[in-house]
Amino acid sequence: MEFRRQIREEESINLTPLIDVVFLLLIFFMVSTTFTKETHLAVDLPEASAEAVTVVNVGIDIVVRENGDYAINGKNVINNEINTLYRALEKEAAGDNKQPLVITADAKASHQSVIRAMDVAGKLGFEQLRITTQEPVVKP
């Protein structure tokens, strides 16, 4: 008896799906690692290295203390509520919102306290707003 030999197809593994999965994993890890870098932001306290500038027209000066209290032109504000600060700044400005406004904040003051002062100044229509810093203290 004569048997016919069957032609065997060459067996191989299709690598295309495997390569697709590897590329998808690579893209996933690349995208997910970029989001984790945003959580590692370093914030330094404000310091200035430039020379002090002499200002002729000081205008209104708001001082934000470490505990969140405010002082406007040397006069303490009763509490740190936004309505109280609004009324005190409105009274000190006397309707003249064209004069410059300087916000001086303690380095340990909360960010919310400074933003509250900026928000009140914006609601009253002040356009010239400056935020001051202090020179770093050089220890011998």
- Position 117 scores a pLDDT of 87
Query: How far is Cα 54 from Cα 37, in angstroms, rounded to an integer?
Result: 41
pLDDT band at 26 (very low <50, low <70, confident <90, very high): very high
CATH assignment of the domain containing 104: 3.30.420.270
Q: 24 in a domain, yes or no?
A: no
Q: pLDDT averaged over the chain?
A: 79
> Quick check: is 97 in a domain?
yes
Residue 22 lies in a domain: no
In a domain, 45, yes or no: no
pLDDT band at 41 (very low <50, low <70, confident <90, very high): very low
Domain count along the chain: 1
Compute the distance between CA of residue 18 and CA of residue 40 in angstroms, rounded to an integer: 35
pLDDT the model gives residue 57: 57
Instruction: Specify if 121 maps to a domain.
Output: yes
User: In three state form, how does the secondary structure of 48-106 look?
Assistant: CCCCCCCCCCCCEEEEECCCCCEEECCEECCCCCHHHHHHHHHHHHCCCCCCCEEEEEC
pLDDT tens digits, residue range 92-116? 888 887 888 888 888 888 888 888 8
User: For the whole prediction, is pTM greater than 0.85?
Assistant: no
94 in any annotated domain: yes
Query: What is the structure's pLDDT at 19?
Result: 93
Range of the domain at 94: 60-132
CB-based contacts of 100, cutoff 8 Å, min separation 6: 55, 57, 58, 59, 60, 128, 129, 130
Q: What are the counts of helices (DSSP H) followed by strands (DSSP E) for the chain?
A: 3, 5
Residue 122 covered by a domain:
yes
Q: Assess if residue 36 is contained within a domain.
A: no
Lowest mean pLDDT among 19-28, 34-43, 55-64, 105-114: 34-43
